[in-house]
Structure 1
């Protein structure tokens, strides 16, 4: 039994990604940073502008009094 009761020997998604990246620790860290930057770029350039009209940000529930 491990130190944490929910740990069952699996690392999850991030452990899987880390194990499958090539190189030593520094190379893996740089590749991971590049992947995070790429995901943030795609989200801000494509996903958020596409989803913005679908979200109710301008629907206010307070009447002008």
Structure 2
């Protein structure tokens, strides 16, 4: 999968690397901003108290 993604991206290797870093940062940002809070609302952890 990563090889196919590397071949699809345009430009020399340093432009591809920059694009991959930007795409990875955007994916992490989207996960922490929208996906994880949405999943946290669906999954109700049991309240546990440690004595």
TM-score bin, normalised by smaller chain: 0.7 to 0.9
> Which residues of structure 2 form unaligned runs of 5+?
none
Task: Give 4+ residue runs of structure 1 displaced > 6 Å after superposition.
Answer: none
TM-score under structure 2 length normalisation: 0.84
Aligned residues: 51
Higher helix share: 2
Larger radius of gyration: 1
Q: Give the Cα separation in 2 of the matches to 1:45 and 1:39.
A: 10
TM-score under structure 1 length normalisation: 0.67
1:50 aligns with 2:50: no
> Which residues of structure 1 form unaligned runs of 5+?
1-12
